[in-house]
Structure 1
């Protein structure tokens, strides 16, 4: 008899549990939310911010387009939905209509995410940069999703901008290329035929580009006055890609 009572209690408890779960799922489906993600490159799936240097993209004469993903928590819908995007003006120096334009704020029908294009302008940014922080804004179709992913940060300028990972302890940029300077960074990108450096944790790639930059510097100094920057003569230590040390 006691065993029967226990079984009945278990069945009732399981029933209540499933009922509560079904209610939570139904509420979640009826309460779609939005979050942002900036795609990474290489072994880095996502990045916290995107830094863009116009001089590293010679084909982008006056404008270029940066992208991020607006992703939903919930079900797709058979109609277009509005994506709420706001500019955090307190943490931004970029001015909408002057430095950038958001081309679309629509999640297409039956989609779980949309690629959002931001057209950025080069004009007025010679030797300086601007910062743009976009944040999820509640709209008629979506509430705010993951707190961690409720913003997307972009920095661009008509100058060679320092990658945000250059001086981080787990980054190999500084070990491979030394103290940052615009002159040095411009030389690295040009000699390695890059628009940005690879993932700073990719030892093999960083070691390869270190070797390419060193060889290019030898050729340059043989045919020109030695390359210098505000720190003096530019040089690169040998970086073997072992434990982050040359």
Structure 2
């Protein structure tokens, strides 16, 4: 009898939980949709480095996403440059619109901005973007409404080097990073591109074979960078 009662109690609890989830979803999608930065929080930064010397201009894409459902019409996401930004329009960046189109049928899009390699000799500059309310969207998750883009001419360790790049290139150093750019002909993008895994494996072996014959002196660590790892 007790076992039967316990089963019924658990069934009621699970049923109420599922009902509560359904109610929350109905509330979520009947409220005005909201927008937020989907891959960065206010505590994070996106880094773009011109240290490779391969280009003086590039496009940075910052993903934004909505809380809510897609619709059958285009909608606009509004943004503004935060006054705390140190990057100058026309000097460090350009082609930044005050609104971004979210096309019909989508719940995610990107803010695109062209960054430029100018007047960076005195240090990094920051471009801070804020999301704004609009006729189409409220603001979403607190802490994900501001994006900070740091533009620099210094080498920046990729955020994904420790895993998985270290599997192919070993421990990070700026000297090794420069060798990678030299041999590969490109720098590592700010976001991991998993479509390049096989390429990273091949390039990692190339860097390994190069360092076997030509160790590189690292001014930062005052040590020789050698082929001291086992590439995949």
Same fold (TM over 0.5): yes
> Does the CA contact (< 8 Å) of 1:211 and 1:238 recur in 2?
no
> Does the CA contact (< 8 Å) of 2:74 and 2:103 recur in 1?
yes
Aligned counterpart, 2:30? 29
Aligned partners of 2:154, 2:201: CA distance in 1, in Å?
A: 25
Cα deviation, residue 33, structure 1: 0.6
> Does the CA contact (< 8 Å) of 1:38 and 1:49 recur in 2?
no
Cα deviation, residue 34, structure 1: 0.7
1:28 alignment partner, SS class: helix
Candidates 154, 157, 167, aligned match of 1:159:
154
Q: Is the aligned partner of 1:95 residue 2:95?
A: no
Aligned counterpart, 1:238? 228
Candidates 58, 70, 75, aligned match of 1:64:
58
Select the structure of larger CA radius of gyration: 1
TM-score by length of 1: 0.63
- Ranges in structure 1 where 5+ consecutive residues have no aligned partner: 1-9, 40-47
Aligned partners of 1:142, 1:116: CA distance in 2, in Å?
A: 16
Aligned partners of 1:127, 1:207: CA distance in 2, in Å?
A: 36
TM-score by length of 2: 0.66
Q: 1:79 to 1:174 in 2, by over 3 A?
A: closer
Q: 1:127 to 1:214 in 2, by over 3 A?
A: farther
Cα deviation, residue 27, structure 1: 6.5
Aligned partners of 1:56, 1:227: CA distance in 2, in Å?
A: 18
RMSD: 4.2
